[in-house]
Structure 1
C-alpha cells in the first residue's frame, strides 16, 4: 500500500511540476508580449517626436530664409575683411617708419 501511495504522490508532484511550467511559460509569454508592445509604442513616440522636430526645423528654416543666413554671414565677413585691409593700408606707413626708426637706433 505504501508503494501505491508513493506512486500517487510522485504522480501528483509530476502533475504539479507540469502546471508550474505552464504557469511560468504563460507568464514569460505575457512578459515578452508586454515588452514588444512597449517597444512598439516607444518607436511610435520617437517617430512622432522626430516628425514634430523636423516640421519645426523646416518652419524655422523657411522663416529665416534658409541659405540667406549664410549669404548674409558671407557678406558681413567680406565687409570686415575690406575694413581690416583699409585700416592696415592707413597705418602701414606709420608702422614701416617705426620699424625703420627702431632698426636705425643703436643701443650701446
Structure 2
C-alpha cells in the first residue's frame, strides 16, 4: 500500500512539474511575442519617421527645382539660340565655298 501511495505521489509530483514547465514555456512564448510586437512597433515608428523625413526632403527639392524651372528654361533658350546662330553662320560660310566649288565644277569641265 505504501508503494502505491508513493507512486501516486510521484505521479502527482511529475504532473505538477509538467504543468509548471508548460506554464514557464507559455510565459516565455508570450514574452517573446510581446518583445517581437514591441520591436515591430518601434521599427514601424522608425520607418514612419524616415519616410516623413524623405517626403519633406523631396518636397523641398521639388519646391526648389520648380522655382529654378523658369531660369533653366531661359538659360536653355539662350543656349539654343546661340547654337542656332553659330550653326547658321558656319553654314553661310561653307555655303559660299560650296557654291564656288559647284560653279568651278560646272564651268571647267574635264575632257
Question: What pairs with 1:1-108 in structure 2 (closer than 5 Å)?
Answer: 1-62=9-70, 64=71, 66-96=72-102, 97=104, 104=110
Gaps of 5+ in 1: none
CA distance in 2, matches of 1:30, 1:95: 86
Higher mean Cα deviation, 78-87 or 19-28?
78-87
RMSD, aligned α-carbons? 2.5
Q: Which runs of at least 4 in structure 1 moved beyond 2 Å after TM superposition?
A: 58-62, 93-98
Q: Which structure has the greater CA radius of gyration?
A: 2
CA distance in 2, matches of 1:71, 1:40: 42
What is the number of residues matched between the two proteins? 102
Gaps of 5+ in 2: 1-8
